[in-house]
Structure 1
Amino acid sequence: MSTISVAICGAGLSGLCLAHSLLRAGFDVQVYERDLAPHARRQGYRITIDEHGIAALQRCLPPQLFKLFLATTSPIDETSYFRVTNQELGEIFRLTFKGDPSGTDLRTPRQIDRQTLRTIMLEGLQDRVHFGKEAIRAETTSEGATLYFSDGDYIHASLVVGADGVNSVLRKQFLPDYEPEDINSWGIYGRTLLDQNEGSVVPSSLKTSGVFAMGPSNLGFFFTTMRFGEAPQTAFARFGVNQIPPITDDYVMWGLVLPKEQFPEPQGKLSSEMLQRFAQEITQDFHPVLQRLVKQADVDYTMAVKFRAGKKPTAWSVPRTTFMGDALHVMPPTGSHGGNTALRDAALLAEKLEAAVIQSESLEKAIGSYQEEMSKYAFREVETSKAMMKRFTIKNPLMRWAMLRAIPRIRSITNKPITTE
């Protein structure tokens, strides 16, 4: 396998996950990342890793790194909830999840900080991840591929994998008819330290809940907590990891979802400070808990995101090149499937490539098999996420009145109100 070289564009979750698996199998794998350094920009916040994501990490990562991943995930409470409410936190409905306090059931979803997971996966790949290498195009033949970079450099590989995100230049080159669609919703994401002024910014009644508060004009506010099972700095030291953990304190991840026409300026023209002030303005009529999360946020972590949805290719005609994650099937955050699907891609592609070499089959056959199987589950998740986003942005006036006023009033008879404590 050492004679087969794989060039991965993008050092995100899927790219690093694939690199670990192929490296353990004996492939010559190199990762090329356009960012100048590992933490040159924000890499997202808390994400939910489901059974597919957990299985992918267990398959691909060295055992010690997988154990470190488990150690830094949020504690698995016996019972947790996802609540949909109105802007005053009046409950519309809730979903109940049974946890596994022992932490041994790997089918039970758990939360982890995205930057922390990425840092864990950089361990062991220090000499194979090349920062400041922006891919601009590739040329492929039946024998391999040549990848060109913005600095004038180029490399040859048996296979090129595009894991370079929603704005993938390789997808634009090889699949120009499948640019992601704009679903006309934008988001503002933020982070607020969980413990401030000797107290929690989240009331105890919502300690184990994720909340989506539906507001006026299709405005929505989501928040959930990221509580590390073991402090990252302690866990990294215990497992002998040389990386420096990027996040050390528990926090609340929050996000605002709103129609793009409600943004005052195009995304690129809004600084973190401007975004945070705008978020405060449009949440003035929300529950005090939600206002507090925005007001006490870490301004530097506030950023804007345009929600898009990938289009399923109907034909694959590119030899020795394929794609993973957001580079192909980006999806709205509703459902928490994006990161899990990307990790699932990495595990599946590694499995197909390893099997092809063992069975003396062509790389083209392995790529084709991967693309066929991946397309089925990935674009099913894209459609599911789009449908969920649509349900959270109901336009029918009668339905909105029932959801935001009538149902919360009825449920308030039996439910305790949310306090600010």
Structure 2
Amino acid sequence: MSEISVAIAGAGLSGLCLAHSLLRAGFDVQIYERDPEPHIRRQGYRISVDEHGIAALQRCLPPHLFKLFLATASPTDKASYFRVTNQELGEVFRLTFKGDPSGADLRTPRQVDRQTLRAIMLEGLQDRVHYGKEVLRAETTSDGATLHFSDGSCIRASLVVGADGVNSVLRKQLLPDCEPDDTSSWGIYGRSLLFHKGRSLVPRPLETSGVFAIGPSGRGFFFTAMRFGEAPQTAFARLGVNQAPPINDDYVMWGILLPKEQFPEHQEKLGAEALQRLAQEAVRDFHPVVQRFVERADVDYTMPVRFRVAKKPDMWPVSRVVFMGDAVHVMPPTGAHGGNTALRDAALLADKLEAIAIQGETLEWAILSYQEGMSKYAFREVEASKTMMKRFSIKNPLMSWVMLRAIPWMRSFTNKSLTIE
């Protein structure tokens, strides 16, 4: 395997996950990241890792790093819920997820902090991640590919993996007809410390819930608490990891869904304070609990998000450049499958590449087999997320009244425990 060199463009979750697996299998792996240092840019907060994501991490990470992932993930001892409510937090419906007091059932979803998980996966790869390496283009041949960087340098590898996110320059070059579509909604993400003056910002009836509150005029508000099972600083030290955990305190992750026409022009260039003011205006007629999340936010962590939907390639050439994650199948956050699908990509590609030695397959077979397998599950999740986002945008007045007024009113008589003061 040392004869096959792999260059990964992008040191996000999927790129690092793949690198660990290939490095353990004996491949020559290098990772090229455009950011000048690991945690300079906000890339989201709490994510939900399902059975596919957990299986991918277990398959790819060294055992002590997988233990660290489990240790810092949210506790699983209580049942958890996904609730859809109106703007006053009146419940429309909920989905229930059984708890696992033992924490041993790896099919039970975990909530993890994205930056903490990334720090975990940087461990052991310090000398293989090269920062400040912005990819400009790739040149492919029958036996490899050359990556060109903005600093004038270039490298050649047997295989290049494009894990460089939704704005991937490699996808734009090699799959020019697959530029993702904008959805009709954009978002603002934020973070607020869970405890304020010793009290939790999340009411007790919602402490193990993810909540999506549907508001008027196409607005929506999602929130959930990120509680660490073990404080990252303690867990990192206990398991001998040299990375410094970027986050140590429990927090509330929240996101606002807005029709994109309600954003100012050039919204991606808005500063955190301007976004914070926009967020406060957007939730002025939501429940006071929702308003408190925004009022007590860590302003520096407020960021804009464009929700985009990938296009499946009509023809997918087998070349020495392959893609993973948002670079090829970006999807809206509804459904919480984006990160899991990216991790699943990493595990699948690792399987196919390792089969070259184990089963005597060719690199071309591995690339083709990966692309065929990934496209089946990934674009199914893209469509599911797209459909769910449309369902959260209720435009029919009668349906809106039934969903957001009549149903919560009727449920209030049978679900007094959910009354939020």
Name structure 2 gaps, 5 residues minimum: none
Q: Which residue of 2 aligns with 1:375?
A: 375
Using the TM superposition, give the Cα deviation of residue 281 of structure 1 relative to its aligned residue in structure 2, in angstroms: 1.1
Contact 2:318 2:364 in 1 (8 A): no
Q: Which residue of 2 aligns with 1:210?
A: 210
Give the whole-Å Cα distance in 1 for the aligned partners of 2:376 and 2:313.
11
Q: Which residue of 2 aligns with 1:30?
A: 30
Q: Deviations over 1:91-149 (max 9, x none)?
A: 11111110111100001111100000000000000000000000110001111111100
Q: Which secondary structure state, in structure 2, belongs to the residue aligned with residue 96 of structure 1?
A: strand
Contact 1:10 1:165 in 2 (8 A): yes
Contact 1:83 1:91 in 2 (8 A): yes
Letter in 2 for 1:161: V
**Higher mean C-alpha deviation, range 88-97 or range 411-420:** 411-420
Q: Which residue of 2 aligns with 1:109?
A: 109
Q: Which secondary structure state, in structure 2, belongs to the residue aligned with residue 244 of structure 1?
A: coil
Counterparts of 1:199-238 in structure 2, within 5 Å, are 199-238=199-238
Give the whole-Å Cα distance in 2 for the aligned partners of 1:230 and 1:169.
38
Give the whole-Å Cα distance in 2 for the aligned partners of 1:111 and 1:176.
35
**Higher mean C-alpha deviation, range 352-361 or range 52-61:** 352-361
Counterparts of 1:324-343 in structure 2, within 5 Å, are 324-343=324-343
Contact 2:86 2:213 in 1 (8 A): yes
Contact 2:309 2:331 in 1 (8 A): yes
Q: Which residue of 2 aligns with 1:262?
A: 262
Counterparts of 1:49-64 in structure 2, within 5 Å, are 49-64=49-64
Q: TM-score, normalised by structure 2?
A: 0.99
Using the TM superposition, give the Cα deviation of residue 80 of structure 1 relative to its aligned residue in structure 2, in angstroms: 1.3
Contact 1:10 1:31 in 2 (8 A): yes
Q: Which secondary structure state, in structure 2, belongs to the residue aligned with residue 297 of structure 1?
A: coil
Q: Which secondary structure state, in structure 2, belongs to the residue aligned with residue 279 of structure 1?
A: helix
Counterparts of 1:19-168 in structure 2, within 5 Å, are 19-168=19-168
Contact 2:77 2:103 in 1 (8 A): no
Give the whole-Å Cα distance in 2 for the aligned partners of 1:419 and 1:225.
18
Q: Which secondary structure state, in structure 2, belongs to the residue aligned with residue 202 of structure 1?
A: coil
Contact 1:219 1:257 in 2 (8 A): yes
Q: Deviations over 1:229-285 (max 9, x none)?
A: 000000000000000000000000000001100112322231111111111112111
Runs of 4+ displaced beyond 6 Å: none
Q: Which residue of 2 aligns with 1:299?
A: 299
Give the whole-Å Cα distance in 1 for the aligned partners of 2:352 and 2:30.
18
Letter in 2 for 1:253: M
Letter in 2 for 1:208: T
Name structure 1 gaps, 5 residues minimum: none
Give the whole-Å Cα distance in 1 for the aligned partners of 2:206 and 2:260.
29
The alignment of Structure 1 onto Structure 2 pairs a total of residues equal to 421
Identity of aligned residues (%): 78
Give the whole-Å Cα distance in 2 for the aligned partners of 1:29 and 1:222.
38
Give the whole-Å Cα distance in 1 for the aligned partners of 2:419 and 2:119.
37
Letter in 1 for 2:264: P
Contact 1:92 1:407 in 2 (8 A): yes
Contact 1:174 1:318 in 2 (8 A): no
Using the TM superposition, give the Cα deviation of residue 356 of structure 1 relative to its aligned residue in structure 2, in angstroms: 1.7
Q: Which secondary structure state, in structure 1, belongs to the residue aligned with residue 7 of structure 2?
A: strand
Please tell me the root mean square deviation across aligned C-alpha atoms, in Å. 1.0
Letter in 2 for 1:94: R
